[in-house]
Amino acid sequence: MAGRNVLIVYAHQSPGSFNAAARHVAVEALQRQGSHVVVSDLYAMDFRASATVQDITDEPRNPEHFCYGDETMWAWQEGRLSDDIKEEQRKVKEAELIIFQFPMYWFSVPAILKGWIDRVLAQGFAFSMEKMYNNGVFKDKKAMLSFTTGAPESMFLPDGINGDMNVTLWPLQNGVLHFCGFQVLAPQIFWAPTFCLPQVRDAMLEGWWARLQGLWEEAPLTFVPSEYFDLSFTGGYRLWPHLKEERGGDAYGLTTGHHLGKPLPPDNQIKAVSLKDQAKEDHAHSKNGQ
């Protein structure tokens, strides 16, 4: 673990917040293990959230119809991105693990963190149509979400009023992190610390500290490999028919997103369970008539 580089992308305005405490625990725990930890404190940096033409340093190729994705891809290729983006991309490139620390806003990330995602993870630098998902640019890096909620865990259960947290996390963990190739570690969720007693908040931070001791050895979450799909225009990037047929008798879908019209596999976006183990469990459920 010694000498490993960690980037913490931190998005909270208050130094007295629980998020600040969680960030502090991560920095201290990882540094004690010998890791080199860098923090991007987005509010302190006054990081710009809006993805605009200002993100390239000269005239766009097509000023009449500015396409952000294409223009920033070309700018990345030619070294024409703005300095703040270049600096964050340097941090990402050097990091072996990225931890996103934030309070959940409206079932997602704060705007300033969404801006970091939009601006820093530019096409070419973070992904391409040839390099995505398990064949992605960052397939040798780990990433994870660490966040607080404003509601208790019960409200995010499958029968809770907010709906299944696994569904909430799918766009961020699959659509952003896994899409860019990251090995996605299970999220660290701090359920409604605002409404908890001090001793409960302390216990949450102690649990985070304990988890950090073995974080590098954790197995990542499981996603369906790209090889399971017909990656051609004619095939529509859809699951190969024979694989879909093979899983027809399973009790659950493959993942939260690839549910195949079946019940969602329990805690697919919260706990690490391999597709192989899940298939065994599905078979056992089917065999027992459950």
**What pLDDT digit, counting tens, does each position of 164-179 carry?**
999 999 999 999 999 9
Which amino acid is present at 149?
A: T
146-160 mean pLDDT: 97
CA distance 265 to 250: 10
How much is the pLDDT for 273?
A: 78
- The answer to whether the beta carbons of residues 165 and 266 sit under 8 Å apart is no
Instruction: Place 280 in a pLDDT band, splitting at 50, 70 and 90.
Output: low
**What pLDDT digit, counting tens, does each position of 197-250 carry?**
999 999 999 999 999 999 999 999 999 999 999 998 888 999 999 999 999 899
Residue 219: other Cβ atoms inside 10 A: 12
Q: Residues of the chain with pLDDT > 90: what percent?
A: 88
How much is the pLDDT for 290?
A: 46
**What pLDDT digit, counting tens, does each position of 40-86 carry?**
999 999 999 999 999 999 999 988 999 999 999 999 999 999 999 99
Query: Chain-wide mean pLDDT for the chain?
Result: 93
Instruction: Place 281 in a pLDDT band, splitting at 50, 70 and 90.
Output: low
Residue 72: other Cβ atoms inside 10 A: 26
How much is the pLDDT for 11?
A: 98
| Least confident residue range of 60-74, 244-258, 262-276 | 262-276
3-state secondary structure the chain: CCCCEEEEEECCCCCCCHHHHHHHHHHHHHHHCCCEEEEEECCCCCCCCCCCHHHECCCCCCCCCCCHHHHHHHHHHHCCECHHHHHHHHHHHHCCEEEEEEECECCECCHHHHHHHHHHCCECCCECCCCCHHHCCCCCCEEEEEEECCCCHHHHCCCCCCCCHHHHHHHHHHHHHHCCCCEECCCEEECCHHHCCHHHHHHHHHHHHHHHCCHHHCCCCCCCCHHHEECCCCCCCEECHHHHHHCCCCCCCCCCCCCCCCCCCCCCCCCCCCHHHHHHHHHHHHHCCC
Domain definitions of the chain by residue range: 5-217, 226-287
**What pLDDT digit, counting tens, does each position of 17-46 carry?**
999 999 999 999 999 999 999 999 999 999
How much is the pLDDT for 233?
A: 85
Give CA torsion, residues 187, 193, 196, 200, to 10 deg: 50
Q: Nearest Cα to 189, choosing from 278, 98, 100?
A: 100
122-146 mean pLDDT: 96
Q: Which fold has domain 5-217?
A: Rossmann fold (3.40.50)
User: Strand pairing of 229-230 and 238-239?
Assistant: antiparallel
pTM: 0.93
* Joined tokens for residue 35: 């890791």
How much is the pLDDT for 16?
A: 95
